[in-house]
Structure 1
Amino acid sequence: MRVVVRYRIEGGLTDALGHLVACDGDVCTIRTRKADVVIQLSEVVAAKEVPPAPERRRPAQ
């Protein structure tokens, strides 16, 4: 499932956008384009499922 999760970090909030790969009682793991992000559930402010990413366009020739 593809999700966006808004969570607290030092100095404010940030988002993780990617696929939910694991979730237990304390943490969830989101696989973003760059890396897996492990988020403490106590830091989550909001989360929702989002549609699949649009397909990348080929460069014009």
Structure 2
Amino acid sequence: MRLFEHPGDVYQKKLKEYEGKTLNEYTNELGVKGWEMVNCIPYSSGMGTTTGFLFIFKRPKR
């Protein structure tokens, strides 16, 4: 058993978990139900791939 998961392993698990979903569908799941994503500020690993989000801006669904 490892104490820490390798970032690459975590990333691959997330890819499988959200396979086939759009970015909007994925980020809508990160917040409270009944809200929709307005905008987000991603952060990256520096190689052109987004690894997560610093901020996700949401509003109540209309």
Compute the TM-score of the two structures, normalised by the length of structure 1.
0.21
Give the structure with the higher percent strand: 1
Give the structure, 1 or 2, with the largest relative contact order (CA under 8 Å, sep 6 or more).
Answer: 1
Give the structure with the higher percent helix: 2
